[in-house]
Amino acid sequence: YEGVYGGYPEDWQGETRHCVAVDCENRVWCSGGMGVVCFDGAEWRMYEVSDGLAPAPVRDLCADAAGRLWIAYGLSARADEGCSEDEPGWGVTVFDGGKWRTYTSDDGLLDNVVLALTGDHEGKVWALPRPGLNVFDGQKWIG
């Protein structure tokens, strides 16, 4: 990409943006409120609850080596976004380019409030839930 890219989707203009990730196809993903938007170099696409995201504030994004986008849901970064300290959380959602899948404590996450995500050089995805640390083994979260 060259230059400055604006022109976010109209419905996304007022959303608070918390994080950005770039995947292996060079798509730029940005979080905002209750969804994410993707810029493919030509146009923006918005993804929301109706597309398969959890009905919760997006806290962090991570693009892994396989081209998947991981979304963490946690306490909002701002108190006015509707989450409280006793918010149950929604876990982590992954997008493989075609479908969305959400993982929760039933899949091994230590907590459904996840504050951060990152990928490592081995292709693993790490999550930072409130009480500890998890790693995704390809099937479930271990922690």
Full set of structural domains in the chain with CATH: 15-142 (2.130.10.10)
pLDDT digits (tens, 9 = 90+) for 56-80: 888 899 999 899 999 998 765 444 4
Cβ–Cβ under 8 Å, residues 9 and 44: yes
pLDDT digits (tens, 9 = 90+) for 36-47: 999 998 888 999
Residue-wise DSSP of 34-91: TEEEEE-SS-EEEE-GGGT--SS-EEEEEE-TTS-EEEEE-S-SSGGGS--TT-----
State the pLDDT confidence band at 2, using cuts at 50, 70 and 90: low
